[in-house]
Structure 1
Amino acid sequence: MTLRLSTVILPYLRWNAGGRSAWTRAEQLGFHTAYTYDHLSWRTFRDGPWFGAIPTLTAAAAVTDHLRLGTLVTSPNFRHPVTLAKELISLDDISGGRVTLGIGAGGTGFDATALGQEPWTPRERADRFAEFVPLLDRLLTEDSVSYEGDHYAAHEARNIPGCVQRPRLPFAIAATGPRGLRLAARHGQAWVTTGDPRLYENGTPEQSVQAIRGQVERLTDECVAQGRDVNELDRILLTGFTPDRSRPLESVGAFVDFAGRHKELGFTELVIHWPIPDSDFAADEKVFEQIAMDGLSQLR
């Protein structure tokens, strides 16, 4: 089983003051995919610069040739399937078919109330997600879609000529609960996890591995229930949110150890954060680049 290494570049830098160079450097370093968060603002970055995901990825597509690009993740918190589909088809065309849509149910952060609504309960988020994903699937694969649901509607929404990637660009569905895992099994080309958030503060690396193993097993069960081989899905771990969140970027050896333990769980892709000074994602840039260039070869 091949393990790929990707990165996530947060959209906090002005394009001509570090933003562009990060994306081009990601391609030079050989990352499989460079993702960005799709938020209106996020946590400790809320009071500083933060740019839109789709325009950022469009700009990145124009200055790279081979690097895959994606969101990690988009959510229904402030998106509508009809308008999102049009933007994704455009981005897929501009990039020459290099886009992956990471998508999740959303959370309770700033995005949850930015449009003036009350934050949705976990059940409401799951209900919307269960409607959002199948409708977006149709919008990206059919020339014209009409739909009337409990939360979303489309009236003769046209999406000609569709995606460059056929039948559509891939979905990487972030989920740990039963309804989300069912969506991943039905509609996903990949599954995304950050681990078990309950272990973030006080858990141990060993507990995290066990929790993630349980998530993989539940995904496998859902795939069996859908008549699908779980090996058809890439399994992506977005690092930085497990109890040993900073350790994988401390040295190449620490990364190799972390990567090996998670490869054994069946992951096909690890995503590491591009270093951001004075933040939760601070890391030595030279070590980060060594990991990008040599980490997986040492694992093999």
Structure 2
Amino acid sequence: MSLRLSTVNLPVRRWHEGGRDQWLRAEEFGFHTAYTYDHLSWRVPFRDGPWFGAVPTLTAAATATERLRLGTLVTSPNFRHPVTLAKELISLDDISGGRITLGIGAGGNGFDATTLLKGDEEPWSPRERADRFGEFVPLLDRLLTEDSVTHEGTFYSANEARNIPGCVQRPRLPFAVAATGPRGLTLAARHGQAWVTTGDPKVSATGTPEQSREALRGQVEKLGKACADIGRDVAELDKIFLTGFTPDGTRPLESVDAFVDFAGRHQELLGFTEIVIHWPIPDSRFAANQKVFERIADEAVAQLG
């Protein structure tokens, strides 16, 4: 399978002050998909600056573009409910003409985890996040494929939730499940059309690029086992690598040759089918040379084959 190259457009620009143009340029450059983060806010320096909602941003991008796939990397239960999210996704899939991918993960312990809490409430523990994720994904799957859903669970309820006419993409829009632990990988195997990873955060902090690739190899092997355990061929899942969080940092974006070497190693050695790079943002962890970024978008995939 040929490698796909995608990008992330963080929702930090006003639509009429460069936001719209960025999505149009992503389509012109030929990216397979342009994703955005689905957060209420994110880390410094973005915490104290503009940050717009993912679903409205993607809706606007869907009306401005024609061919580009669009998606979230990633949506989580931190501030979403499956019933209302399903309605928004069906609408977004319709507006885009069936060009939406839902990246979905269990969520972390950042700002999204605390913004909606009352003063005496504690953030969810990792176990509770995993428990919620384990109920959220199967329910969302049903909501996007069945006309009417009733569900009474531990964390989420649906009472004759109706979602007619359903998605343009059948049986529903694809899920790209972000996971590294056994429970999340099982969800990816059961419900995902793709699997997403950013690497191993423990290795990212102190490790080397070689150690990062070895950690990724371990994740891929665990995904294969999760698929085998339910009788699914792991080759059915796309494997998406969201870059920018490994010891390589932005070094792969320093030149076309550097990126081709980086992407080729992850494609050939680890089986990744899609590499996602962040659109450069000055004075952030995603700072990179815009012209080199554009050359990578224009030239790299052809070299990788």
> What's the TM-score, normalizing by structure 2?
0.98
Counterpart in 2 of 1:85?
A: 86
Amino acid at match of 2:300: G
Deviation at 1:88, TM superposition (A): 0.1
The whole-number CA distance in structure 1 between the counterparts of 2:131 and 2:6 is 31
Helix, strand or coil at the partner of 2:51: coil
Deviation at 1:298, TM superposition (A): 1.7
Counterpart in 2 of 1:218?
A: 222
Counterpart among 176, 180, 198 of residue 202 in structure 2:
198
1:140–1:159 CA contact under 8 A, matched in 2: yes
The whole-number CA distance in structure 1 between the counterparts of 2:78 and 2:115 is 9
The whole-number CA distance in structure 1 between the counterparts of 2:186 and 2:2 is 25
The whole-number CA distance in structure 2 between the counterparts of 1:25 and 1:187 is 32
1:112–1:118 CA contact under 8 A, matched in 2: no
Deviation at 1:100, TM superposition (A): 0.1
Matched, 1:132 2:136: yes
Deviation at 1:299, TM superposition (A): 2.1
The whole-number CA distance in structure 1 between the counterparts of 2:87 and 2:181 is 29
Amino acid at match of 2:290: E
Provide the identity percentage.
Answer: 78
Matched, 1:102 2:107: no
The whole-number CA distance in structure 1 between the counterparts of 2:273 and 2:124 is 32
Matched, 1:236 2:240: yes
2:240–2:275 CA contact under 8 A, matched in 1: yes
The whole-number CA distance in structure 1 between the counterparts of 2:264 and 2:50 is 36
Amino acid at match of 1:5: L
Helix, strand or coil at the partner of 1:46: helix
Deviation at 1:147, TM superposition (A): 0.2
Q: How big is each residue's C-alpha offset from its partner over 1:215-264, in whole Å with a ceiling of 9 and x where there is no partner?
A: 00000011011111101000000000010011111100110110011002
Counterpart in 2 of 1:257?
A: 261
The whole-number CA distance in structure 2 between the counterparts of 1:170 and 1:119 is 29
The whole-number CA distance in structure 2 between the counterparts of 1:299 and 1:95 is 29
Counterpart in 2 of 1:40?
A: 40
Counterpart among 281, 289, 292 of residue 287 in structure 1:
292
Q: How big is each residue's C-alpha offset from its partner over 1:107-139, in whole Å with a ceiling of 9 and x where there is no partner?
A: 000000111152111100000000000000000
Amino acid at match of 1:167: P
Q: Which moved more, 1:244-253 or 1:85-94?
A: 244-253
1:11–1:51 CA contact under 8 A, matched in 2: yes
Counterpart in 1 of 2:65?
A: 64
Counterpart in 2 of 1:52?
A: 53
Q: How big is each residue's C-alpha offset from its partner over 1:155-193, in whole Å with a ceiling of 9 and x where there is no partner?
A: 000000000000000000000000000000000000000
Counterpart in 1 of 2:2?
A: 2
1:142–1:162 CA contact under 8 A, matched in 2: yes
Amino acid at match of 1:280: R
The whole-number CA distance in structure 1 between the counterparts of 2:213 and 2:301 is 20
Q: Which runs of 5+ in 2 are unaligned?
A: none
Counterpart among 125, 150, 154 of residue 158 in structure 2:
154
The whole-number CA distance in structure 2 between the counterparts of 1:118 and 1:18 is 38
CA RMSD of aligned residues (A): 0.6
Deviation at 1:297, TM superposition (A): 1.3
Amino acid at match of 1:7: T
2:3–2:304 CA contact under 8 A, matched in 1: no
Helix, strand or coil at the partner of 2:205: coil
1:75–1:106 CA contact under 8 A, matched in 2: yes
The whole-number CA distance in structure 2 between the counterparts of 1:154 and 1:47 is 36
Amino acid at match of 1:80: H
> What's the TM-score, normalizing by structure 1?
0.99
Counterpart in 2 of 1:298?
A: 303
Helix, strand or coil at the partner of 1:42: coil
